[in-house]
Amino acid sequence: MDRGWGFLIGLLGAVWLLSSGHGEQQPPETAAQRCFCQVSGYLDDCTCDVETIDRFNNYRLFPRLQKLLESDYFRYYKVNLKRPCPFWNDISQCGRRDCAVKPCQSDEVPDGIKSASYKYSEEANNLIEECEQAERLGAVDESLSEETQKAVLQWTKHDDSSDNFCEADDIQSPDAEYVDLLLNPERYTGYKGPDAWKIWNVIYEENCFKPQTIKRPLNPLASGQGKLLPNTFYSWLEGLCVEKRAFYRLISGLHASINVHLSARYLLQETWLEKKWGHNITEFQQRFDGILTEGEGPRRLKNLYFLYLIELRALSKVLPFFERPDFQLFTGNKIQDEENKMLLLEILHEIKSFPLHFDENSFFAGDKKEAHKLKEDFRLHFRNISRIMDCVGCFKCRLWGKLQTQGLGTALKILFSEKLIANMPESGPSYEFHLTRQEIVSLFNAFGRISTSVKELENFRNLLQSIH
């Protein structure tokens, strides 16, 4: 009898354990699962999945893109890092050596880049030796033909038009300098704390769209610690239209991408002889672990993939601009310029072949009047964010923040210029749609940063799996 009751009690207990989910003890989630288990499958508002992006980027695109970005045309970027912050005066400048930016000396920048930013036509390139060297990027050479001079003036006018999504940087200012991006890589500088979080607070608080019914200000950063408050954004994000959701996700994706770079190129060890940079797994987990970030980390990573798709789509759309026979990546080295254009076109055709591009036709597809207002709000919000980059206290962070913001702004400009691109002449000046050298350099380098982030996610996934 006792044995029968014991068996019955044991059987009932087993049934209860199984029905309540307490049967076999589930193994705890690994560190890799806590960061990446939700970063898989299809992305919101997209028909593409994470795994397809990983394969396409890491094995087909990333190596060739890195080679292109190491060329002279793309490694030199002119920027004014001395512009004052337009929003507040109490900027605490980072005094660490790693925050500093080393500008190029005059003789380090190829003459073709310094003197011929608009020399896209064969006629202009043939006249380069006869032209007096200009001191500033963007200067107009009087020896150019009347047609070419007219085109330059049209381009300059268009660059300042309301179609741009970024505040134009004053690269003709005496304070603007060339920077070698390869010698000033984006990596962890030690710039953090209230000053750094203030930048992202202002970006999220004052520039991301919110429902009109919210009665209290939303604070995306809890107590300055860098953790998003639980259920703050995503509790209302689902109620927004696709354009406003996309805007937030682009900013979040850019933020995530930057944090991946900082975690992947972290100062691990420093001696009086050398510095050792590498992957900081703890830093990565603090920013993206599902538990440590109260569920926000994986969402941030998915937004990074969303940003990747947006910029990938823009690059596929702008292919006709670069395919024109008179367009050149002009540096003055004819052989290298031709090779670089061939490589650039190979990359763009590869991008064009991507099977699951983001469908931007869902943007601003409603009532024309309402769509126009929404597009204008979209543009003004983003221009404001580009101005906030002048408030970053770390000059190296400011450099890469300005470049990546301009690159994303250029991508948006391309996506909203589809008809203008389609109507471009096959050769000769393009008055309606044009990209300056600044926009071209920032567009490809910004996408290069996102491509690097996707590649680094594979590295972090492997590192996290190896510690268990």
Concerning whether 131 is annotated as a catalytic residue, the answer is: no
Beta bridge partners of 79: 177
Q: What are phi and psi of 434, to 5 degrees?
A: -155, 150
Lowest mean pLDDT among 151-165, 396-410, 440-454: 151-165
Nearest to 290 by CA among 48, 451, 464: 464
Residue 337 has pLDDT above 80, yes or no: yes
What are the Cα distances from residue 248, in Å, to 234, 269, 370? 10, 36, 19
Nearest to 291 by CA among 464, 50, 33, 21: 33
Tokens standing for residue 457: 């996610």
Q: CB under 8 Å to 162, separation ≥6 — which residues?
A: 379
Q: What is the pLDDT of residues 167-196, one digit of tens each?
A: 666 677 788 899 999 999 998 888 877 878
pLDDT for 17 equals: 38
Residue tagged active-site, from 46, 48, 166, 394:
394
At 149, the pLDDT band (50, 70, 90 cuts) reads: low
Nearest to 404 by CA among 210, 203, 197: 203
Amino acid found at 238: E
Q: Are 173 and 146 in contact (CB under 8 A)?
A: no
| β strands within 62-187, DSSP E | 76-79, 177-180
Q: Which residues are annotated as a binding site for FAD?
A: 187, 189, 200, 252, 255, 287
Please, what is the end-to-end C-alpha distance for the chain in angstroms? Answer: 48
In the 8-state DSSP scheme, what is residue 467? T
**Higher per-residue confidence, 349 vs 5:** 349
| β strands within 176-298, DSSP E | 177-180, 266-270, 275-278
**Where in the chain are the domains?**
31-112+170-466
SS3 of 16-77: HHHHCCCCCCCCCCCHHHHHHCCCCCECCCCCCEHHHHHHHHHHHHHHHHHHHHCCHHHHEE
Residue 460 has pLDDT above 90, yes or no: yes
pLDDT for 247 equals: 83
In the 8-state DSSP scheme, what is residue 23? S
Concerning whether 397 is annotated as a catalytic residue, the answer is: yes
Spatial distance between the Cα atoms of 214 and 235, rounded to a whole number of angstroms:
11
**Higher per-residue confidence, 166 vs 99:** 99
Residue 217 burial (CB < 10 Å; 0-12/13-18/19+)? exposed
Residue tagged active-site, from 48, 99, 391, 397:
397
pLDDT for 344 equals: 97
Q: What is the pLDDT of residues 69-80, one digit of tens each?
A: 999 999 999 999
Q: Are 378 and 135 in contact (CB under 8 A)?
A: no
Q: Which residues are annotated as a binding site?
A: 187, 189, 200, 252, 255, 287
Spatial distance between the Cα atoms of 292 and 81, rounded to a whole number of angstroms:
35
Q: What is the pLDDT of residues 202-249, one digit of tens each?
A: 888 776 665 544 333 333 333 333 443 444 445 555 666 677 778 888
pLDDT for 378 equals: 77
Residue 114 has pLDDT above 70, yes or no: yes
**Higher per-residue confidence, 41 vs 155:** 41
Looking at residues 297-326, what average pLDDT do you find?
A: 93
Lowest mean pLDDT among 84-88, 207-211, 330-334: 207-211
Nearest to 194 by CA among 148, 226, 239, 237: 226
pLDDT for 95 equals: 64
Task: Work out the mean pLDDT of the chain and round it to a whole number.
Answer: 76
At 46, the pLDDT band (50, 70, 90 cuts) reads: confident
DSSP 396-464: HHHHHHHHHHHHHHHHHHHHTTHHHHHT--SSS--SSS---HHHHHHHHHHHHHHHHHHHHHHHHHHHH
Nearest to 82 by CA among 156, 171, 168: 171
At 418, the pLDDT band (50, 70, 90 cuts) reads: confident
Return the percentage of the chain with pLDDT > 70, whole number: 70
